[in-house]
Chain A
Amino acid sequence: MKTLPTLRDKKRYMAFEVNSEEIITRQELIKEIYNSVRSLFGDVGASEINFGLMSYDGKYGIIRCAKEKTGETRAALACVNKIRGIRISIMLLGISGTIKGATEKFIQKSLIKGLEPDKEKQEHPIPWVAGSHQVE
């Protein structure tokens, strides 16, 4: 049964980009972020944050959190540094109130930015700026 609209929790959606040595699977990422949230804020804090991974393609993704807990979620994401020995850094691209907004504003924008030939990049042809993984 659906929750009454007036009783629905306010959420925020965060677009993020994963920089890692090897591709991390969805399950591994969820588990690691969850561990990070729980070790920082405990079970009560984790339930208040209401974390969820909405989508993830190996490089870009969107996670959900409670409206008032964006700062805490940011801190928990920053604490993710290693998954089964692979070094990883999660970079937040932006926060939006809807999944559509997060995708259009941050993920598509950064994809376009990555595809466009950049003057600065032409001067210094470096492979890691364009992203080490191919996005499907």
Chain B
Amino acid sequence: MSLFDAKFYDFYVHPAPDSIAQLTFEAKRYGYSGVAITNSQINPDEAEKPNGFSIYSAVEISCKPSKLRDEIKKHNRKREIIIAKGADEEFNRAVVETEGIDILLQPSKFNNVLAQAAQDNSVAIGFNAGSIIHTRDEARVRELTVMRANLKHARKFGLQIILTGDYYSIYDLRSPREIAALASLFGMTAKEAVNAMSAGCLEILGRKSPDYVQEGIELI
């Protein structure tokens, strides 16, 4: 059985409202089983999608560190996947120290203190492979350096890794194998990459199910 027979998900997709159907049909062809659309007003259950394909809703929060808790409360009720894009050190620190955030995406200044806090609050660390695709030269070197450092911390502290392609349209789509090849550029193994796109995502989805009570407690 090939490593790439798993079900793959991408949690950081932002299509234009009128191209959601187009993107989901193409994503299925590229080998994905589901996507989470960020900051969209569309109800995932009503959206047009191919058979056997799932759409989830995610939200990318960017606010003052002091308002983080209110934002999380608001979105937790709707069971949305909460993503925080890495910014300055103060924001990153607030994100990893707040329970309820699912993914901290591509933090640029990550250290052992933040990693420890992320482990305590089970915040996954996200790697944006789309940044390798869309940047060139110095910018790409910087992104790869950041990702290499983040991967080191994630391995050391056993953090959940999430890989995403940052898709806006069908022309940004890349298949899971290609995302894994891009991840290998900063030292991620194929197995880690597959886990980051399937098992890691499923774990987050499990946390969003109505049966989930809190870490380690679930209704059966």
Residue of B at shortest CB range from A123? B51
Name A81's contact: one of B26, B29, B134, B177 (CB within 8 Å): B134
- A77 and B178 form a contact (CB under 8 A): yes
Q: State the CA gap A7–B50 with chains docked (Å).
A: 49
Q: State the CA gap A74–B132 with chains docked (Å).
A: 13
Evaluate whether A126 and B22 lie within 8 angstroms (CB atoms) in the complex, with A91-B30, A92-B177 already known.
Answer: yes
Does B173 touch A at the CB level, under 8 Å?
A: yes
Residues of A within 8 A of B173 (CB): 19, 89, 91
- A89 and B174 form a contact (CB under 8 A): yes
Residue of B at shortest CB range from A21? B171
Does B69 touch A at the CB level, under 8 Å?
A: no
Q: State the CA gap A39–B179 with chains docked (Å).
A: 18
A residues adjacent to B (C-beta < 8 A): 19-21, 39-40, 71-72, 74-75, 77-79, 81, 87-89, 91-92, 120, 124, 126, 128-129
Write 7 A-B pairs (CB below 8 A) sorted by A numbering: A74-B177, A75-B184, A78-B133, A78-B178, A78-B182, A91-B173, A124-B21
Residues of A within 8 A of B26 (CB): 19, 128-129
Evaluate whether A81 and B171 lie within 8 angstroms (CB atoms) in the complex, with A75-B181, A75-B185, A126-B21 already known.
Answer: yes
Q: State the CA gap A120–B50 with chains docked (Å).
A: 8
Q: State the CA gap A81–B131 with chains docked (Å).
A: 12
Q: State the CA gap A39–B133 with chains docked (Å).
A: 12
Residues of A within 8 A of B172 (CB): 81, 87, 89
Total number of A-B contacts with CB less than 8 angstroms?
66
- A124 and B178 form a contact (CB under 8 A): no
Residues of B within 8 A of A39 (CB): 136-137, 140
Q: State the CA gap A78–B48 with chains docked (Å).
A: 27
- B181 and A20 form a contact (CB under 8 A): no
Residues of A within 8 A of B137 (CB): 39
Evaluate whether A124 and B48 lie within 8 angstroms (CB atoms) in the complex, with A75-B182, A78-B178, A78-B179 already known.
Answer: yes
Name A79's contact: one of B48, B50, B132, B175 (CB within 8 Å): B132
Residues of A within 8 A of B21 (CB): 124, 126
Residues of B within 8 A of A91 (CB): 30, 173, 175
Q: State the CA gap A71–B22 with chains docked (Å).
A: 29
Given contacts A75-B184, A78-B182, A89-B170, 9 further A-B pairs with CB under 8 A are: A40-B185, A75-B178, A75-B181, A81-B133, A81-B134, A87-B172, A126-B22, A126-B25, A128-B25
Name A120's contact: one of B51, B171, B179, B185 (CB within 8 Å): B51
Which residue, B22, B51, B169, B171, has most C-beta atoms of chain A within 10 A? B171
- A20 and B171 form a contact (CB under 8 A): yes
- B 17-47 binary contact with A (CB < 8 Å = 1; else 0): 0000110011001100000000000000000
- B171 and A88 form a contact (CB under 8 A): yes
Q: State the CA gap A88–B173 with chains docked (Å).
A: 10
- A74 and B171 form a contact (CB under 8 A): no
- B 179-200 binary contact with A (CB < 8 Å = 1; else 0): 1011011000000000000000
Q: State the CA gap A60–B50 with chains docked (Å).
A: 24
- B184 and A19 form a contact (CB under 8 A): no
Name A71's contact: one of B133, B170, B171, B181 (CB within 8 Å): B181
Residues of A within 8 A of B30 (CB): 91
